[in-house]
Structure 1
Amino acid sequence: MTVTESPTTVAPDLVPLRRNRRFQTLWAGSAAAMLGTCVADTAYPLLLLAMTGSPTLAGAFGAVQFGASVLFGLHGGAVADRHDRRRVLIVADTVRLATALSVALALLAHCLTVPHTLLAAAAIGATMAYGGPARMLALRAVVPPGQLRQALSQDELRVNGAALAGPPLAGFLLGLGRAVPFLATVLASAAALGASIAVRFDGGPTNGADGGRRETGTGNDGREKGVGDGGGETGADGPGREKGAVFAGLRHLFTDPTLRATVLVAVALNLAGSAMLLAVMVLLRDHGTSEAGTGLALTGEAVGGLLGAALVTRLHRTLAPGALLLAVAWTAPLLFLVPAFAGGPVVVFAALAAMSLGVPALRVMLDVLVFQQVPEAMRGRAVAATMTLLMAGLPVGTMTAGLLLGRLAAGTVLMLLAGLLAVGLLPLTLGRGLRGTSWPKA
C-alpha cells in the first residue's frame, strides 16, 4: 500500500449519506439487530438463572452461542462469497426472527425449557456467523467509496450505542415480565428482516471467466452497478467451491503484511481487553464496589467507543495506517496500569473510556483495508476470518485471566497483562513493516 491519497477525499457531487435511503434503511435494520442481540445476551442468562438457579446453566447460553459462531464462522464467509448475499442475509434474519418468536411464545405458554433455550443460543450464534459477513458487506455495497469512512463511523455508533443501551434495557424489560425482553427481540428481529427485504443491493460475485470477480461502479446515490446478472449463486467453479476455499480469507489476511499486523494486534487487544475486564471486576469487588457500581464502571468502554466514532475521520487524516495501529495499541498497556495503582469505579470508567477512544478508528481502518484490498470474490471469507479471529480472543482472554486471578491479586494481574501486551507490541514497533504504510486509493 503505497498510495498516499487523503483518506477523506469525497467527490463534490455525491449525495449526502443521510439522504442515501438504502444505506440508512440497512443501517437501521442492523442497529435493530444489534440492539436485539445485546438485549438477548443479558436477558437469556438472567432468565436461565431465574428458571434454574444455576450460574453454570446461565453461563452456558453465552458459551453455546459463541461456540456456534466460531464453529460456523469461516463457512459463513464462504457462503457469502458463493451465494447471493442478500438472500443469505434474509435467510439469517428469518431464522433469527423464528428463534426469538419461539422463545417468546414458549414463555407466554409457560412451557420454555432449558434445552429449548440452549437450542436458541446455537441458532442465534449460527445466524451471526452466516448473517454477519453478509450484513457487513451489504452496508458497504450501497455506499460510494468516497463516503465509506463516514458510513463506517456511523456504523460504530450502532455498535457502541447498542452495547451501552442493551444490558440496562434488558434488565428493565425483564422487570416488566419474563416474556417482555424476548418480545422486544422479536420486534428487533422483524425490523432487521424488513430492512433486508426492502433494500436491494449487489449480491456479490457472479460466474465468469475471472473466477467470480465483477467490475463495479458506484453511482452518486450509493447504488452499486455490476457487470453480470445482479448476483446469485455461482457455479461449481465459482468462489467458495475450490479446495480449501473456506480458509482462503485467512490465507489472504496473513499474506499481506499490513493486514496481518492489523489483525494480530486487534486479536491481541481483544484477548488482553477481555482479560482486563475480568481483572477490574475482581479489583472493584475487592474495593467494596457494589454490583451496580461495577456495571456503571464497565460502561466506560461503550461510552469511549461512542465518543471515538466522532474521531475516526480526524485520526485517519492525521495518521497513516501503521502509525494509527501502533498508537491505539500502545494506549492499552499504559491504561491497564491505571486501575492497578488507583482502583475505584470512577478510575475504571475513565480508563476504559480512554482506552476505547481509538478503537473505532482501528476497526474502520481494518474494514477499509479489507474492503478495498481483498478481491470481491473473497471479501465474505476475509470478513468472516477477521470476525472469527477477533471473537476467538474473548474466551481465551477471560479464561487466562481467571487462571491468573486464582493465584495473583487483581492489580498484579493487570500489571502482568500490560507487560505481556507491551512485549508483544515491541517487534511491530521496532520493525519496518508498518512504517511505510499509507491509505489505499479510494
Structure 2
Amino acid sequence: MTVTENPTTTAAVALAAVPLRRNRRFQTLWAGSAAAMLGTCVADTAYPLLLLAMTGSPTLAGAFGAVQFGASVLFGLHGGAVADRHDRRRVLILADTVRLLTALSVALALFTHRLTVPHTLLAAAAIGATMAYGGPARMLALRAVVPPEQLRQALSQDELRVNGAALAGPPLAGFLLGLGRAVPFLATVLASAAALGASIAVRFDTEPAGPTGAADGKEKGAVFVGLRHIFGDPTLRATVLVAVALNLAGSAMLLTVMVLLRDHGTSEAGTGLALTGEAVGGLLGAPLVTRLHRALAPGVLLLAVAWAAPLLFGVLAVAEGPFAVFGMLLVMSLGIPALRVMVDVLVFQQVPEAMRGRAMAATMTLLMAGLPVGTMTAGLLLDRLPATTVLLLLAALLAAGLLPLTLGRSLRGTGWPTS
C-alpha cells in the first residue's frame, strides 16, 4: 500500500477480491512474523536462565534484557528512517538474516562449550538492533499485502500472534531448557529461519515514497520527523501519550502484583499462572477488535480502555490469591488489542507515506520506553510502601492524568479515518 502508480492499484483490487484467510502473501508473512515473535519470547526467557546457570549472578541474568532493550531504543528511530529511505523487503531480509546468524552462533558456542558472557550480551544487542530495524519494515510489509478494507482484520490476526507468543514462549523455553541447554537456542534458530524464509518468499511493494521536504530522511534531524509529526497532531499526541501512560502504569502494576502475591504466600508457580491472565485476555480480546471499533469512536475507545485500568488497579489491591489476580488481569487486557490496532490504524492511515516508517518507529520507541520506567518507579515505591498502597497510588496517578483528556474535546470528538 505504498504510494506508487498503477501496479499498486491493480494489486489492491486483486487483494480485495481474496478473503484474508486465502491471501497467501499475508498468511506467509504472518506465519514468519509469528515464528520470529515466538523465537523472541523463548529467547527472552532462555537467555537470562542460561546466564543465571552459567554465572549464578542475577545481575548478569538481568543484563541480557537491559542490553536488548537498550539497543532497541537506541536504534529505534533510525530503524524507522531506514524503512522510509530503503527497500523495505531488503531491510527485513537483512534483519532476519542477522537474527538467524546470532541464534546460530549461540547454539554452536553451546555445543562446543565456548559460550561466554560477552558473547551472550553481544547477542542481546544484535537481537535488540534487529527488532529496531526489522520491526517497522515487517509492520509495513504486513500492511502492504492487504487492501485497506481488510486492515483491521489483518491487525486483529496479528494480535493473536503477539499474545499467543507471549503466552507460549516462557513455558516453552523452560521445557526446552529441561531437555538441554542448547535446545531452546536451536528452537530460536528454526524460528529465525522460518521468518527469513517468509521474508524471502513474499514479494510486496517495497519502495518508499519519494521525498517530500523533510520526509526524505537524509537531512539533519530527519529521524525525528515521525516523532514531530505525532506530537504536532493533537489527536495522535493524546493517543500516544495515553498509550505510553498505560504501558508505564501497567509495567509498574505487574511488579507490584508480584510483590503482593509473594506477601500473600503465593508460590512462584502460582504467580506465573496469575500473570498469564494478561496474555489470555489479549488472546480473547483480539476477536473483539472489529466490534469495538464499530461500536466506539477512537477517542471514546481509548478513554474507556484507559479508565478500566485505574478501576481494576483498585480491585487488584484487595484481590486474594492467584486466581483472582488472573481474572483481573484478563479483564484488564480484553480491550488492549482494540487499542493497539486503533493506534496502528491512526498512524498508518493519517501519517504521510514518506514518513510512515519513522512514525511507527517513534510510536514503538515511546511505548517501549514506558516499560523500564514503570518497573523502576514501582521498585522505588515498593521499597518504602506496602504493595496495596502502591497499587492505589498508581490508580490515583493514572486517573489524575486521564481526567484532563476526558474533560477535553480533543479525544472525545475524534472519528475513524475515512480512507
Q: Give the TM-score category using the shorter length.
A: over 0.9
* Residue 75 to residue 13, structure 1, CA distance change in 2 (3 Å): closer
Choose from 14, 35, 38 the match for 1:35.
Answer: 38
Aligned length: 407
- Residue 347 (structure 1) shift: 1.2
Please tell me the root mean square deviation across aligned C-alpha atoms, in Å. 1.4
Q: Structure 1 CA distance, aligned partners of 2:25 and 2:278? A: 30
Choose from 81, 85, 89 the match for 2:88.
Answer: 85
Pairs within 5 Å for 1:214-229: none
Name the counterpart of 2:3.
Answer: none
Q: Is the 8 A contact 1:73 1:385 kept in 2?
A: yes
Q: Structure 2 CA distance, aligned partners of 1:57 and 1:346? A: 32
Q: Is the 8 A contact 2:282 2:336 kept in 1?
A: yes
* Residue 290 to residue 131, structure 1, CA distance change in 2 (3 Å): same
Choose from 147, 159, 165 the match for 1:156.
Answer: 159
- Residue 11 (structure 1) shift: 11
Choose from 145, 150, 172 the match for 1:147.
Answer: 150
- Identical counterparts, % of pairs: 88
Give the letter aligned to residue 334 of structure 1.
L
Pairs within 5 Å for 1:262-341: 262-341=239-318
Choose from 386, 390, 396 the match for 1:413.
Answer: 390
Give the letter aligned to residue 205 of structure 2.
D
Deviations 1:144-200 (A, max 9, x none): 000000000000000000000000000000000000000000000000000000001
Secondary structure class of the residue paired with 1:310: helix
Q: Structure 2 CA distance, aligned partners of 1:11 and 1:178? A: 48
Name the counterpart of 1:171.
Answer: 174
Q: Is the 8 A contact 1:258 1:434 kept in 2?
A: yes
Name the counterpart of 2:367.
Answer: 390
Secondary structure class of the residue paired with 2:216: coil
- Residue 204 (structure 1) shift: 3.4
Secondary structure class of the residue paired with 2:133: helix
Q: Is the 8 A contact 1:323 1:435 kept in 2?
A: yes
Name the counterpart of 2:108.
Answer: 105
Q: Structure 2 CA distance, aligned partners of 1:144 and 1:156? A: 18
Give the letter aligned to residue 29 of structure 2.
L
Q: Structure 1 CA distance, aligned partners of 2:415 and 2:195? A: 36
Give unmatched runs, 5+ long, in structure 1.
1-9, 213-236
Q: Is the 8 A contact 2:84 2:209 kept in 1?
A: no
Q: Structure 1 CA distance, aligned partners of 2:342 and 2:95? A: 27
Higher helix share: 2
Choose from 396, 402, 414 the match for 1:425.
Answer: 402
Choose from 357, 360, 363 the match for 2:340.
Answer: 363
Give the letter aligned to residue 414 of structure 1.
L
Q: Is the 8 A contact 1:268 1:421 kept in 2?
A: yes
Name the counterpart of 1:205.
Answer: 208
Q: Is the 8 A contact 1:301 1:356 kept in 2?
A: yes
The answer to whether 1:95 aligns with 2:77 is no
Q: Is the 8 A contact 2:88 2:208 kept in 1?
A: no
Q: Structure 1 CA distance, aligned partners of 2:376 and 2:44? A: 19
Q: Structure 2 CA distance, aligned partners of 1:206 and 1:249? A: 15
Q: Structure 2 CA distance, aligned partners of 1:407 and 1:167? A: 31
Secondary structure class of the residue paired with 1:296: helix
Q: Is the 8 A contact 2:208 2:354 kept in 1?
A: yes
The answer to whether 1:124 aligns with 2:121 is no
Q: Structure 1 CA distance, aligned partners of 2:261 and 2:248? A: 20
Name the counterpart of 2:10.
Answer: none
Name the counterpart of 1:225.
Answer: none
Q: Structure 2 CA distance, aligned partners of 1:287 and 1:274? A: 20
Deviations 1:339-398 (A, max 9, x none): 211232011101111110000000000000111000111000000000000000000000
Secondary structure class of the residue paired with 1:437: coil
Q: Is the 8 A contact 1:204 1:376 kept in 2?
A: no
* Residue 350 to residue 438, structure 1, CA distance change in 2 (3 Å): same
Q: Is the 8 A contact 1:44 1:61 kept in 2?
A: yes
Give unmatched runs, 5+ long, in structure 2.
1-12
Give the letter aligned to residue 312 of structure 2.
L
